[in-house]
Structure 1
Amino acid sequence: MDVLIHLFVGLHIIGIAALLGGFLTQMKAMGRGEARMVPAMLHGALTMLATGIVLVGLNEAQHQQINTIKIGVKLALLVVILGVVYVKRDEETVEKGALATVGGLTMANIFIAVLWT
């Protein structure tokens, strides 16, 4: 079971890397007002959602103590990220605020995962 959990943690990290990487690739374009939501951002956020749900289930199956408040906060941030990315995914350019929101919430999600014990 531990191998399965580690596999899904790795996939979860790949999802966050895709989301954050998509944001970082658009920062220069954001300065010019030409930024857009790239497909990697949507796919990364969906990967994070799916693997996060699986990780909670696997940890509960092993009777691990789960910090439900932390998971709830991370889920709420991810739902906002998914909403913004999904709504803006087909626009040719997006406003700076939308992209900055996605980037800021993504980084907040990372720091919550790492620092909240």
Structure 2
Amino acid sequence: MSTIDEIREQSKTVWAVSAAPRTGGRAAEDSFSALLKNMRAGKPAGSGEEKDTQTTTVTQVLSDGSVLVTVYEGNRIVSETKSRSANPEQTPAVLSTRTETSGMAQMAQAASTLGESALLNLLQRP
């Protein structure tokens, strides 16, 4: 038997193997489809998911000109970013702090404010 015939026989054996059984099923396909859909739309990771956790963003301007942004999800730090400064200091002081809250707490506050303003408008009518 020539070398070419041996290769042909081996290739028949390789291609005769059946495919591996599928695992995960529709749930994996659905989550991957949702991920691709969000990527095509330019949405951030995890968008479209309902979260009950509160997200808080704390922005601090430091005395050396750098900015420190910390994002909390509940009590857990999700990300922390610090920009470079033109004149770095060993221990810069915090000049200002700004806090923004989003998530369920913000929606509850907005609904409360909307309800209060609607009630005020109703009471002011003649």
| Fold shared, TM-score > 0.5 on shorter chain | no
TM tier, smaller: under 0.3
Greater percentage in strand: 2
The answer to which structure, 1 or 2, has the higher relative contact order (CA under 8 A, 6+ apart) is 1
Question: Which of the pair has more CA radius of gyration?
Answer: 2
Q: TM-score, normalised by structure 2?
A: 0.20
Q: TM-score, normalised by structure 1?
A: 0.22
Greater percentage in helix: 1
